[in-house]
Amino acid sequence: MLLLSTGIAICSDADKPANNPDNNSPADLNEPNGPTITLSYSGRTFEEIPFASFMYFVPLVSPDTVDVEVSADNEQKVATVSYEKKIYPKSFYVNCEFKMSGNGFHKYTFDAPEVIAKHTVGLKAGETLTHTIDYIKFDGPGLGRIEVKGTIAGSIKTVTEVDLHFIAGDLKSPVTIGLYDVKPKNGQYKYENRTDELIARVDSFTFKKTDSETEMGIKLTSVNAAANPDGLLAGIKGLIANFFMEPPKISRIGNDTMLNFGQAILNEMPLFTFPKAKNIREAGTVK
């Protein structure tokens, strides 16, 4: 087994004011690609960088239109603090730890009519649409890690799984998702008629290599009513929720990009460019 332990830096074209005046926004809509992330493995001390470039995968994996909201005077930054790689005869494992710091939030809201229209196909008359994803929100500081796993055949290393964990140390996950149910009224499913709104706190997102339909695995730490997101029974509800929540369908390009990102980290590539997320409707700032 080969074990490597170094530092890894993440910085981005979004750091350059000439190209992107709003450092907390996704890449310019007129640019042909998404943000480019620069990786370094030298072990030196690294500066924190804007949050949006690192989390660009969220609108990229979504098959539906996404509205991006950023809190006013957002201070969220990301810095990767360690890198470890283990090479075995037929497999490999990479663990990359990162920290999220600064106040504010990034919120990615999925177009409700699009989501509802897709998920009501095949429902029986009068059946309730349940556990529909409303948004993904990254709020405040936290710790996390990226795990990259895969196989080795001869000289070929293939990434088969990338896991993004948002829990480390004593800090709770800064990532939540909004969920809701919709009961049909007069045979129609409408977002304004949603009920049973929940807030689920996320442990991890998982992306796997597959030839079938692509999904994003989600592991939850808690689920509670939106009116009381940190209730006493939240942890128990989160455990139960992991058994009944279906992994959401995601775009093929988004899933492949996350596997390619894992491959770049494995190979210690100096640069990684996200493809353009073409379904971002708006990058707004919440006052």
Supply 256's token pair. 């492949």
CA atoms of 219 and 201, how far apart (whole Å) = 9
Say what the pLDDT of residue 283 is.
58
The series of mean pLDDT values per 10 residues for the chain, 287 residues long, is 44 42 46 78 60 88 94 87 92 92 93 95 92 93 94 97 88 91 94 93 95 93 77 57 73 97 92 90 59
Cβ atoms within 10 Å of 192's Cβ, excluding its own = 7
CA atoms of 256 and 207, how far apart (whole Å) = 9
Closest CA to 55 of 175, 200, 208: 175
Helix, strand, coil content of the chain in percent (nearest 5) = 15, 45, 35
Q: What is the 3-state secondary structure (H, E, C) of 73-98?
A: CCCCEEEEEEEEEEECCCEEEEEEEE
Say what the pLDDT of residue 221 is.
86
**Length of the chain, in residues:** 287
Say what the pLDDT of residue 22 is.
41
* Prediction pTM value: 0.84
Residue 269 domain boundaries: 2-286
CA atoms of 44 and 7, how far apart (whole Å) = 7
Q: Is 41 left (phi over 0), alpha (psi -120 to 50) or beta?
A: alpha
Say what the pLDDT of residue 121 is.
93
CA atoms of 159 and 91, how far apart (whole Å) = 9
- How many domains are contained in the chain? 1
Environment class of 271 (CB within 10 Å of its CB; exposed 0-12, middle 13-18, buried 19+)? exposed
